[in-house]
């Protein structure tokens, strides 16, 4: 598991991830491969990607960005490029009979608007859109092993004032909390913030 949290309001978007990379040994047991892996990629000043699932395959997907001048890409370009590449990489491994999970969240600013989208191999790469309006908080999480922490996340966000600092602190608290009961998440945190 990884835990990637994305929180957005009209003036900012925050991406946060834990740093643990694991390999499943049995249903209840995992090997920890790395404790400080940043599961976030800042594409340019306006775009960030959070990713979870199979580490090598997610990195393979992101390598496709090397074919582009990153500062010339807008958010919709990046979403289309990464979604298509994720489908391609996933198909390649499925043909080989290898089950993998690829989960992506891509967000930032386009045309003066903060927004983000998520998709994954788990839901057939269907794109889900999030655009905060007014004082609304839009948020999503990527968690490949299906652990349902939505209630925990809802509680944490419900009690946080709507500032980037307080939401960042709440997101960190959520990752800390999950790391206490799930051995595939640690409390090493990485954060990217994009402001409008």
Distance of CA 153 to the CA centre of its chain: 15
Instruction: Look at residues 162, 164, 157, 170 and name the one whose alpha carbon lies nearest to residue 196.
Output: 164
For 30-85, write each residue's pLDDT tens digit. 888 999 999 999 999 999 999 999 999 999 999 999 999 999 999 999 999 999 99
For the segment 11-29, what is each residue's pLDDT rounded down to a tens digit? 999 999 999 998 877 656 7
Question: Which bin fits 134, alpha (ψ -120 to 50), beta or left (φ > 0)?
Answer: left
Q: Is the pLDDT of residue 183 over 90?
A: no
State yes or no: pLDDT of 178 exceeds 90: no
Given the DSSP bridges, would you call strands 128-130 and 113-120 parallel, antiparallel or unpaired?
antiparallel
Q: Domain spanning 4-195: which CATH class is it, in words?
A: alpha beta
Which pLDDT score, from 0 to 100, does residue 27 have?
A: 59
- Indicate whether this model's pTM tops 0.85: yes
pLDDT exceeds cutoff 90 at 92 = yes
CA distance 42 to 192: 7
Please state, in angstroms and rounded to a whole number, the distance separating the CA atoms of residues 100 and 122.
9
143/117: higher pLDDT? 117
Residue 59 CB contacts under 8 Å (≥ 6 apart), including other chains: none
Q: Where are the domains of the chain?
A: 4-195
* Rounded CA separation 159/117 (Å): 25
Task: Give the gyration radius of the chain's Cα atoms.
Answer: 16
Residue pair 52/143 in contact (Cβ under 8 Å)? The answer is: yes
Categorize the per-residue pLDDT at 2 as very low, low, confident or very high, splitting at 50, 70 and 90.
Answer: confident
97 vs 196: CA distance, rounded Å: 44
Q: pLDDT (tens digit, 9 = 90+) per residue, 140-169?
A: 999 866 556 666 667 666 766 788 998 898
């Amino acid at each position: 598991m990884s835990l990637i949290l994305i929180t957005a309001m009209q003036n900012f978007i925050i991406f946060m991830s834990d740093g643990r990379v694991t390999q499943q040994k049995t249903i209840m047991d995992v090997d920890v491969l790395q404790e400080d892996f940043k599961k976030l990629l800042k594409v340019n000043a306006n775009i960030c990607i959070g990713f979870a699932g199979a580490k090598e395959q997610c990195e393979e997907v992101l390598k496709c960005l090397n074919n582009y001048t990153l500062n010339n890409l807008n958010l919709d370009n990046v979403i289309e490029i990464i979604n298509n590449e994720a489908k391609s990489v996933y198909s390649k491994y499925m043909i080989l009979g290898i089950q993998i999970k690829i989960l992506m969240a891509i967000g930032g600013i386009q045309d003066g608007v903060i927004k983000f989208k998520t998709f994954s191999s788990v839901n057939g790469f269907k794109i889900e859109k999030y655009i905060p309006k007014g004082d609304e908080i839009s948020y999503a999480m990527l968690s490949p092993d299906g652990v349902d922490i939505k209630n925990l996340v809802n509680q944490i966000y419900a009690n946080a004032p709507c500032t980037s600092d307080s939401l960042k602190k709440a997101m960190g608290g959520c990752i800390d909390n999950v790391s206490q009961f799930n051995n595939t998440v640690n409390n090493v945190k990485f954060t990217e913030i994009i402001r409008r």
